[in-house]
Structure 1
Amino acid sequence: MSLFYVTVRSAAGTTPADLSKLFKPSQFKSLSATQHFYLYRATDLQGAGKGKPEWMMMYEMAMDESKSQQSIMNEIKSIVSNPGIEMYRQGLYSLQTSKSSSTFSSLNFHIASNFLVAVFIRLHPGRKEEFDRYYAEEHMDALMKVPGWRRTRRFVTTGLPEDEAECLALHDYDLENGLGGEEFKHATTTMWYKDMMVNAVMSKDRRTYELCSEVLS
Protein backbone atom coordinates (compact mmCIF):
# COMPACT_ATOMS: atom_id res chain seq x y z
CA MET A 1 0.00 0.00 0.00
CA SER A 2 0.98 3.64 -0.29
CA LEU A 3 0.23 6.57 1.96
CA PHE A 4 -0.15 10.25 1.15
CA TYR A 5 -0.36 12.79 3.95
CA VAL A 6 -0.75 16.54 4.09
CA THR A 7 -0.65 18.88 7.07
CA VAL A 8 -2.52 22.18 7.18
CA ARG A 9 -3.07 25.22 9.35
CA SER A 10 -6.62 26.58 9.34
CA ALA A 11 -8.52 29.69 10.31
CA ALA A 12 -10.05 29.84 13.77
CA GLY A 13 -13.35 28.03 13.95
CA THR A 14 -12.54 25.45 11.27
CA THR A 15 -14.16 22.15 12.17
CA PRO A 16 -13.24 18.55 11.30
CA ALA A 17 -16.37 18.45 9.12
CA ASP A 18 -15.11 21.48 7.14
CA LEU A 19 -11.77 19.83 6.44
CA SER A 20 -13.30 16.44 5.63
CA LYS A 21 -15.43 18.13 2.99
CA LEU A 22 -12.50 20.05 1.48
CA PHE A 23 -10.10 17.12 1.36
CA LYS A 24 -12.37 14.14 0.73
CA PRO A 25 -10.67 11.71 -1.67
CA SER A 26 -13.50 11.68 -4.23
CA GLN A 27 -12.57 15.24 -5.25
CA PHE A 28 -9.10 14.21 -6.46
CA LYS A 29 -8.52 12.02 -9.50
CA SER A 30 -4.98 11.19 -8.37
CA LEU A 31 -6.37 9.89 -5.06
CA SER A 32 -9.09 7.74 -6.61
CA ALA A 33 -7.47 4.56 -5.25
CA THR A 34 -7.89 5.77 -1.66
CA GLN A 35 -9.21 3.00 0.55
CA HIS A 36 -9.28 4.97 3.81
CA PHE A 37 -9.13 8.68 4.66
CA TYR A 38 -8.27 9.81 8.19
CA LEU A 39 -8.35 13.29 9.70
CA TYR A 40 -6.19 13.93 12.76
CA ARG A 41 -5.72 16.94 15.03
CA ALA A 42 -2.36 17.66 16.67
CA THR A 43 -2.21 17.25 20.45
CA ASP A 44 1.25 18.79 20.94
CA LEU A 45 0.55 22.40 19.96
CA GLN A 46 1.44 23.64 23.43
CA GLY A 47 4.66 21.62 23.46
CA ALA A 48 7.08 20.40 20.79
CA GLY A 49 4.61 21.20 18.01
CA LYS A 50 3.97 24.81 19.03
CA GLY A 51 3.62 26.97 15.93
CA LYS A 52 3.30 23.95 13.62
CA PRO A 53 0.26 22.91 11.55
CA GLU A 54 -2.71 21.71 13.57
CA TRP A 55 -4.29 19.17 11.20
CA MET A 56 -3.12 16.12 9.29
CA MET A 57 -4.97 14.20 6.58
CA MET A 58 -3.88 10.69 5.61
CA TYR A 59 -4.94 8.85 2.47
CA GLU A 60 -4.28 5.10 2.42
CA MET A 61 -4.19 3.78 -1.15
CA ALA A 62 -3.56 0.63 -3.08
CA MET A 63 0.02 0.79 -4.32
CA ASP A 64 0.41 2.66 -7.62
CA GLU A 65 3.96 3.45 -8.65
CA SER A 66 2.73 5.79 -11.39
CA LYS A 67 1.60 8.35 -8.84
CA SER A 68 3.93 11.14 -7.82
CA GLN A 69 3.82 13.50 -4.91
CA GLN A 70 3.96 16.52 -7.21
CA SER A 71 1.00 15.41 -9.33
CA ILE A 72 -1.12 14.87 -6.21
CA MET A 73 -0.12 18.21 -4.73
CA ASN A 74 -0.81 20.10 -7.96
CA GLU A 75 -4.32 18.70 -8.03
CA ILE A 76 -5.00 19.43 -4.36
CA LYS A 77 -3.74 23.01 -4.68
CA SER A 78 -5.93 23.59 -7.73
CA ILE A 79 -9.07 22.55 -5.82
CA VAL A 80 -8.39 23.71 -2.28
CA SER A 81 -8.30 27.48 -2.64
CA ASN A 82 -9.93 28.36 0.69
CA PRO A 83 -8.08 31.46 1.99
CA GLY A 84 -8.40 30.10 5.55
CA ILE A 85 -6.39 26.96 4.71
CA GLU A 86 -2.58 26.90 4.50
CA MET A 87 -0.94 23.64 3.41
CA TYR A 88 2.47 22.70 4.75
CA ARG A 89 4.19 19.34 4.83
CA GLN A 90 3.23 16.66 2.29
CA GLY A 91 4.59 13.21 1.54
CA LEU A 92 3.96 10.12 -0.58
CA TYR A 93 5.21 6.91 1.04
CA SER A 94 5.27 3.17 0.40
CA LEU A 95 4.73 0.69 3.22
CA GLN A 96 7.82 -1.17 4.44
CA THR A 97 6.64 -3.12 7.48
CA SER A 98 3.59 -3.34 9.72
CA LYS A 99 3.05 -4.97 13.09
CA SER A 100 -0.04 -4.83 15.31
CA SER A 101 -1.24 -6.16 18.65
CA SER A 102 -3.37 -9.30 18.75
CA THR A 103 -6.41 -7.22 19.77
CA PHE A 104 -6.11 -4.64 16.96
CA SER A 105 -8.09 -5.15 13.75
CA SER A 106 -8.64 -1.71 12.23
CA LEU A 107 -9.33 1.88 13.20
CA ASN A 108 -13.00 2.48 13.96
CA PHE A 109 -13.91 5.97 15.09
CA HIS A 110 -17.34 4.79 16.26
CA ILE A 111 -15.83 2.30 18.73
CA ALA A 112 -12.79 4.15 20.05
CA SER A 113 -10.64 7.08 19.05
CA ASN A 114 -6.94 6.74 18.33
CA PHE A 115 -3.74 8.42 19.47
CA LEU A 116 -1.05 8.60 16.81
CA VAL A 117 2.68 9.26 17.12
CA ALA A 118 4.21 10.24 13.77
CA VAL A 119 8.02 10.16 13.54
CA PHE A 120 9.76 11.53 10.43
CA ILE A 121 13.43 10.59 10.06
CA ARG A 122 16.18 11.37 7.56
CA LEU A 123 19.14 9.00 7.78
CA HIS A 124 22.79 9.54 6.98
CA PRO A 125 23.80 7.85 3.70
CA GLY A 126 24.50 4.16 4.05
CA ARG A 127 22.80 3.74 7.43
CA LYS A 128 19.32 2.57 6.42
CA GLU A 129 20.08 -1.16 6.49
CA GLU A 130 21.47 -0.88 10.01
CA PHE A 131 18.56 1.29 11.14
CA ASP A 132 16.06 -1.24 9.76
CA ARG A 133 17.87 -4.02 11.62
CA TYR A 134 17.76 -2.02 14.87
CA TYR A 135 14.02 -1.53 14.46
CA ALA A 136 13.38 -5.20 13.71
CA GLU A 137 15.67 -6.70 16.34
CA GLU A 138 15.16 -4.31 19.27
CA HIS A 139 12.94 -1.26 18.96
CA MET A 140 9.78 -3.00 17.74
CA ASP A 141 9.75 -5.48 20.63
CA ALA A 142 10.30 -2.66 23.12
CA LEU A 143 7.44 -0.57 21.73
CA MET A 144 5.06 -3.51 21.87
CA LYS A 145 5.49 -3.57 25.66
CA VAL A 146 4.25 0.02 26.05
CA PRO A 147 0.72 -0.03 27.54
CA GLY A 148 -1.91 0.92 24.98
CA TRP A 149 0.23 0.14 21.94
CA ARG A 150 -1.92 -0.95 18.97
CA ARG A 151 0.16 -0.89 15.81
CA THR A 152 3.38 0.35 14.21
CA ARG A 153 3.79 0.89 10.47
CA ARG A 154 7.00 1.96 8.79
CA PHE A 155 7.05 3.78 5.45
CA VAL A 156 9.67 5.28 3.14
CA THR A 157 9.28 8.05 0.57
CA THR A 158 8.77 6.84 -2.99
CA GLY A 159 10.89 7.62 -6.03
CA LEU A 160 13.95 9.00 -4.21
CA PRO A 161 17.52 7.66 -3.85
CA GLU A 162 18.10 6.04 -0.47
CA ASP A 163 20.35 8.86 0.76
CA GLU A 164 17.55 11.38 0.09
CA ALA A 165 14.62 9.31 1.32
CA GLU A 166 12.65 10.08 4.45
CA CYS A 167 11.42 7.33 6.76
CA LEU A 168 8.05 7.63 8.46
CA ALA A 169 6.92 5.57 11.44
CA LEU A 170 3.27 5.73 12.50
CA HIS A 171 2.55 4.37 15.97
CA ASP A 172 -1.10 3.84 16.96
CA TYR A 173 -2.04 3.84 20.65
CA ASP A 174 -5.14 3.89 22.83
CA LEU A 175 -5.97 7.38 24.10
CA GLU A 176 -5.00 6.15 27.56
CA ASN A 177 -1.48 4.80 27.07
CA GLY A 178 1.96 4.35 28.58
CA LEU A 179 3.82 6.97 26.56
CA GLY A 180 6.23 8.58 29.00
CA GLY A 181 6.07 5.55 31.31
CA GLU A 182 8.81 3.09 32.22
CA GLU A 183 8.34 0.83 29.21
CA PHE A 184 8.54 3.76 26.80
CA LYS A 185 11.55 5.23 28.59
CA HIS A 186 13.31 1.89 28.24
CA ALA A 187 12.53 1.77 24.49
CA THR A 188 14.15 5.17 24.00
CA THR A 189 17.21 4.91 26.26
CA THR A 190 18.96 1.69 25.21
CA MET A 191 22.55 1.80 24.01
CA TRP A 192 21.51 0.82 20.49
CA TYR A 193 18.82 3.54 20.41
CA LYS A 194 21.36 6.17 21.50
CA ASP A 195 23.85 4.97 18.89
CA MET A 196 21.21 5.24 16.13
CA MET A 197 20.16 8.73 17.20
CA VAL A 198 23.77 9.96 17.21
CA ASN A 199 25.31 8.11 14.28
CA ALA A 200 22.50 7.11 11.90
CA VAL A 201 19.80 9.78 12.21
CA MET A 202 20.42 13.04 10.36
CA SER A 203 17.16 14.70 11.42
CA LYS A 204 14.03 13.73 13.34
CA ASP A 205 10.61 15.31 13.74
CA ARG A 206 7.99 13.85 16.10
CA ARG A 207 4.33 14.89 16.26
CA THR A 208 1.37 13.51 18.19
CA TYR A 209 -2.23 13.47 16.95
CA GLU A 210 -5.70 12.33 17.92
CA LEU A 211 -8.17 10.91 15.42
CA CYS A 212 -10.94 13.48 15.44
CA SER A 213 -13.28 12.76 12.54
CA GLU A 214 -15.22 10.00 10.87
CA VAL A 215 -13.14 7.43 9.02
CA LEU A 216 -14.19 7.43 5.40
CA SER A 217 -13.56 4.56 3.02
Structure 2
Amino acid sequence: MAKRAVLFTEMAPGASWEHEFNRWYDTEHIPPRMDVPGFINAQRYRNVDSPAYLALYDLEGRGALETQAYKQIKANLDETTRRILADVTDFTRYIGEEIGCWRRPDANNVSLNEAAFVYAVFFTVPPDRAEEFDRWYEEDDVPVLLRCPDWLAVRRFRIVEAEPQPFTHLALHYLASLDALQSDARQQARNSPWRMRLAQEDWFKAHFAVFGRTGQLFVANH
Protein backbone atom coordinates (compact mmCIF):
# COMPACT_ATOMS: atom_id res chain seq x y z
CA MET A 1 0.00 0.00 0.00
CA ALA A 2 1.29 3.46 -0.91
CA LYS A 3 2.23 5.71 1.96
CA ARG A 4 0.13 8.83 2.41
CA ALA A 5 2.04 11.89 1.29
CA VAL A 6 2.00 15.67 1.40
CA LEU A 7 3.06 18.30 -1.10
CA PHE A 8 4.32 21.38 0.78
CA THR A 9 4.87 24.37 -1.49
CA GLU A 10 5.40 28.08 -0.81
CA MET A 11 5.37 31.20 -2.97
CA ALA A 12 5.52 34.91 -2.15
CA PRO A 13 3.76 37.40 -4.46
CA GLY A 14 4.61 41.06 -4.72
CA ALA A 15 2.57 43.33 -2.47
CA SER A 16 1.07 45.18 -5.45
CA TRP A 17 -0.42 42.01 -6.95
CA GLU A 18 -1.12 39.89 -3.88
CA HIS A 19 -4.87 40.06 -4.52
CA GLU A 20 -4.40 38.80 -8.09
CA PHE A 21 -2.14 36.03 -6.81
CA ASN A 22 -4.75 34.82 -4.33
CA ARG A 23 -7.54 34.93 -6.90
CA TRP A 24 -5.39 32.95 -9.34
CA TYR A 25 -4.41 30.39 -6.73
CA ASP A 26 -7.99 29.80 -5.57
CA THR A 27 -9.73 29.83 -8.94
CA GLU A 28 -7.12 28.64 -11.45
CA HIS A 29 -4.24 26.87 -9.73
CA ILE A 30 -5.77 24.53 -7.15
CA PRO A 31 -9.11 23.48 -8.76
CA PRO A 32 -7.63 21.46 -11.67
CA ARG A 33 -5.49 19.52 -9.21
CA MET A 34 -8.60 18.40 -7.36
CA ASP A 35 -9.50 16.37 -10.47
CA VAL A 36 -6.17 14.51 -10.44
CA PRO A 37 -6.27 10.90 -9.18
CA GLY A 38 -4.50 10.60 -5.84
CA PHE A 39 -5.11 14.16 -4.68
CA ILE A 40 -7.24 14.28 -1.51
CA ASN A 41 -7.50 17.94 -0.56
CA ALA A 42 -5.68 21.25 -0.42
CA GLN A 43 -5.56 24.02 2.16
CA ARG A 44 -3.76 27.34 1.96
CA TYR A 45 -1.94 29.29 4.69
CA ARG A 46 -0.03 32.56 5.03
CA ASN A 47 3.29 32.89 6.83
CA VAL A 48 2.72 34.99 9.96
CA ASP A 49 6.17 36.60 9.62
CA SER A 50 6.50 37.11 5.86
CA PRO A 51 4.43 37.58 2.69
CA ALA A 52 4.86 33.92 1.68
CA TYR A 53 1.85 31.68 1.15
CA LEU A 54 1.84 27.93 1.75
CA ALA A 55 -0.31 25.32 0.05
CA LEU A 56 -0.58 21.87 1.64
CA TYR A 57 -1.85 19.11 -0.61
CA ASP A 58 -2.76 15.79 0.99
CA LEU A 59 -2.07 12.90 -1.37
CA GLU A 60 -2.96 9.21 -1.34
CA GLY A 61 0.70 8.66 -2.22
CA ARG A 62 3.55 10.40 -4.00
CA GLY A 63 2.48 8.61 -7.18
CA ALA A 64 -0.27 11.22 -7.57
CA LEU A 65 2.44 13.57 -8.81
CA GLU A 66 3.50 11.07 -11.48
CA THR A 67 0.07 10.60 -13.08
CA GLN A 68 -0.58 11.64 -16.65
CA ALA A 69 -3.31 14.01 -15.46
CA TYR A 70 -0.89 15.89 -13.21
CA LYS A 71 1.83 15.96 -15.86
CA GLN A 72 -0.62 17.49 -18.34
CA ILE A 73 -1.47 20.27 -15.90
CA LYS A 74 2.23 21.02 -15.38
CA ALA A 75 2.93 20.95 -19.12
CA ASN A 76 0.03 23.16 -20.23
CA LEU A 77 0.41 26.47 -18.40
CA ASP A 78 -1.56 29.47 -19.60
CA GLU A 79 -0.05 32.93 -19.96
CA THR A 80 -1.27 34.15 -16.56
CA THR A 81 0.17 31.14 -14.77
CA ARG A 82 3.52 31.45 -16.51
CA ARG A 83 3.71 35.15 -15.62
CA ILE A 84 2.81 34.62 -11.96
CA LEU A 85 5.19 31.70 -11.49
CA ALA A 86 7.97 33.76 -13.05
CA ASP A 87 7.35 36.67 -10.66
CA VAL A 88 6.88 34.94 -7.30
CA THR A 89 9.78 34.66 -4.86
CA ASP A 90 10.71 32.36 -1.96
CA PHE A 91 9.56 29.28 -3.85
CA THR A 92 9.77 25.93 -2.05
CA ARG A 93 8.54 22.45 -2.95
CA TYR A 94 8.84 19.49 -0.61
CA ILE A 95 7.23 16.08 -1.03
CA GLY A 96 6.99 14.02 2.13
CA GLU A 97 5.83 10.47 2.83
CA GLU A 98 3.95 10.22 6.09
CA ILE A 99 5.69 8.50 8.99
CA GLY A 100 2.84 8.91 11.45
CA CYS A 101 0.16 11.13 12.92
CA TRP A 102 -0.44 11.79 16.62
CA ARG A 103 -3.50 13.65 17.94
CA ARG A 104 -4.77 14.85 21.25
CA PRO A 105 -7.57 12.45 22.27
CA ASP A 106 -10.04 15.33 22.39
CA ALA A 107 -9.12 16.29 18.80
CA ASN A 108 -9.71 12.90 17.19
CA ASN A 109 -12.90 14.09 15.53
CA VAL A 110 -11.50 17.45 14.41
CA SER A 111 -10.37 17.87 10.81
CA LEU A 112 -6.75 18.97 10.88
CA ASN A 113 -7.50 21.31 8.00
CA GLU A 114 -9.62 23.32 10.44
CA ALA A 115 -6.63 24.13 12.65
CA ALA A 116 -6.01 27.86 12.76
CA PHE A 117 -2.24 27.50 12.45
CA VAL A 118 0.37 25.10 11.14
CA TYR A 119 3.84 25.13 12.66
CA ALA A 120 6.23 23.52 10.16
CA VAL A 121 9.59 22.19 11.38
CA PHE A 122 12.29 20.86 9.02
CA PHE A 123 15.48 18.99 9.83
CA THR A 124 18.34 17.60 7.78
CA VAL A 125 19.23 14.37 9.58
CA PRO A 126 22.29 12.23 8.77
CA PRO A 127 21.27 8.67 7.86
CA ASP A 128 23.11 7.18 10.84
CA ARG A 129 21.19 9.45 13.25
CA ALA A 130 17.71 9.01 11.75
CA GLU A 131 16.67 6.12 13.99
CA GLU A 132 17.38 7.97 17.23
CA PHE A 133 15.93 11.19 15.82
CA ASP A 134 12.67 9.40 15.06
CA ARG A 135 12.58 7.79 18.50
CA TRP A 136 13.22 11.14 20.22
CA TYR A 137 10.43 12.82 18.26
CA GLU A 138 7.87 10.10 18.81
CA GLU A 139 8.73 8.95 22.34
CA ASP A 140 9.87 12.20 23.96
CA ASP A 141 8.85 15.31 22.02
CA VAL A 142 5.36 14.61 20.67
CA PRO A 143 3.81 13.20 23.87
CA VAL A 144 4.86 16.29 25.84
CA LEU A 145 3.67 18.77 23.21
CA LEU A 146 0.25 17.13 23.08
CA ARG A 147 -0.27 17.91 26.75
CA CYS A 148 -1.02 21.46 25.61
CA PRO A 149 -4.78 21.85 24.87
CA ASP A 150 -4.01 24.01 21.83
CA TRP A 151 -1.57 21.47 20.32
CA LEU A 152 -4.08 19.46 18.30
CA ALA A 153 -1.86 17.07 16.37
CA VAL A 154 1.56 16.33 14.92
CA ARG A 155 2.17 14.74 11.53
CA ARG A 156 5.66 13.58 10.60
CA PHE A 157 7.04 13.03 7.12
CA ARG A 158 10.21 11.70 5.52
CA ILE A 159 11.05 14.05 2.66
CA VAL A 160 11.61 12.31 -0.68
CA GLU A 161 11.98 15.40 -2.89
CA ALA A 162 13.35 18.70 -1.64
CA GLU A 163 13.69 22.16 -3.18
CA PRO A 164 15.61 24.30 -2.45
CA GLN A 165 17.04 22.98 0.86
CA PRO A 166 18.16 19.35 1.34
CA PHE A 167 15.83 18.70 4.28
CA THR A 168 15.13 15.07 5.15
CA HIS A 169 12.35 15.33 7.74
CA LEU A 170 9.26 17.50 8.18
CA ALA A 171 6.87 17.78 11.11
CA LEU A 172 3.57 19.61 10.75
CA HIS A 173 2.17 20.75 14.08
CA TYR A 174 -1.51 21.69 13.99
CA LEU A 175 -2.34 24.43 16.51
CA ALA A 176 -5.63 25.91 17.67
CA SER A 177 -3.83 29.03 18.86
CA LEU A 178 -0.37 30.58 18.74
CA ASP A 179 -0.46 30.42 22.53
CA ALA A 180 0.68 26.81 22.10
CA LEU A 181 4.15 28.05 21.11
CA GLN A 182 4.48 29.81 24.48
CA SER A 183 3.01 26.97 26.52
CA ASP A 184 4.58 25.13 29.43
CA ALA A 185 4.36 21.93 27.40
CA ARG A 186 6.52 23.33 24.63
CA GLN A 187 9.04 24.67 27.14
CA GLN A 188 9.22 21.27 28.80
CA ALA A 189 9.72 19.56 25.44
CA ARG A 190 12.54 21.93 24.50
CA ASN A 191 14.27 21.37 27.84
CA SER A 192 14.08 17.58 27.92
CA PRO A 193 17.42 15.83 28.58
CA TRP A 194 17.09 13.79 25.39
CA ARG A 195 16.60 16.88 23.26
CA MET A 196 19.42 18.70 25.01
CA ARG A 197 21.78 15.83 24.16
CA LEU A 198 20.78 15.88 20.49
CA ALA A 199 21.14 19.67 20.41
CA GLN A 200 24.87 19.24 21.04
CA GLU A 201 25.27 17.62 17.61
CA ASP A 202 26.09 19.91 14.69
CA TRP A 203 23.28 18.63 12.45
CA PHE A 204 20.53 19.28 15.00
CA LYS A 205 19.39 22.63 13.63
CA ALA A 206 15.70 23.12 12.89
CA HIS A 207 14.26 25.35 10.21
CA PHE A 208 10.74 26.41 11.12
CA ALA A 209 7.89 28.68 10.09
CA VAL A 210 4.38 29.41 11.33
CA PHE A 211 1.42 29.74 8.98
CA GLY A 212 -2.13 30.93 9.56
CA ARG A 213 -4.95 29.22 7.71
CA THR A 214 -6.55 31.26 4.93
CA GLY A 215 -9.34 30.56 2.48
CA GLN A 216 -11.43 27.49 1.92
CA LEU A 217 -10.59 23.80 2.01
CA PHE A 218 -10.48 22.31 -1.49
CA VAL A 219 -11.61 18.69 -1.70
CA ALA A 220 -10.94 16.24 -4.53
CA ASN A 221 -13.76 15.74 -7.04
CA HIS A 222 -13.14 12.01 -7.63
TM-score normalized by the length of structure 1 = 0.79
What letter matches 2:138 in structure 1?
A
Find out whether 1:95 has 2:117 as its counterpart: no
In structure 1, the gaps of 5 or more residues are 46-52
Counterparts of 1:124 and 1:59, CA distance in 2: 27
Larger helix proportion of the pair: 2
Residue 7 of structure 2, aligned match among 4, 7, 15: 4
Q: Which residue of 1 aligns with 2:46?
A: 41
Residue 189 of structure 1, aligned match among 188, 191, 195: 191
Q: 1:141-197: CA deviations, max 9, x gaps? A: 11111230111000011279xxx7610000001025331232211111112112223
Find out whether 1:24 has 2:23 as its counterpart: no
User: How many residues are treated as equivalent by the alignment?
Assistant: 201
What letter matches 2:18 in structure 1?
T
Q: Which residue of 2 aligns with 1:14?
A: 18
Q: Which residue of 2 aligns with 1:48?
A: none
Find out whether 1:154 has 2:159 as its counterpart: no
Find out whether 1:167 has 2:169 as its counterpart: yes
Distance 1:213 1:159, change over 3 A: closer
Identity of aligned residues (%): 18
Counterparts of 2:178 and 2:72, CA distance in 1: 38
TM-score normalized by the length of structure 2 = 0.78
Deviation, 1:74, is: 9.8
Counterparts of 2:209 and 2:113, CA distance in 1: 21
Q: Could you tell me whether the CA contact under 8 Å between 1:114 and 1:210 is conserved in 2? A: yes
Q: Which residue of 1 aligns with 2:130?
A: 128
Counterparts of 1:73 and 1:154, CA distance in 2: 27
Counterparts of 2:198 and 2:182, CA distance in 1: 20
What letter matches 1:101 in structure 2?
R
In structure 2, the gaps of 5 or more residues are none
1:101-112 matches, within 5 Å, as: 101-104=104-107, 105-107=110-112, 109=114
What letter matches 1:158 in structure 2?
V
What letter matches 1:38 in structure 2?
Q
Deviation, 1:117, is: 0.3
Counterparts of 2:158 and 2:29, CA distance in 1: 23
Counterparts of 2:39 and 2:186, CA distance in 1: 33
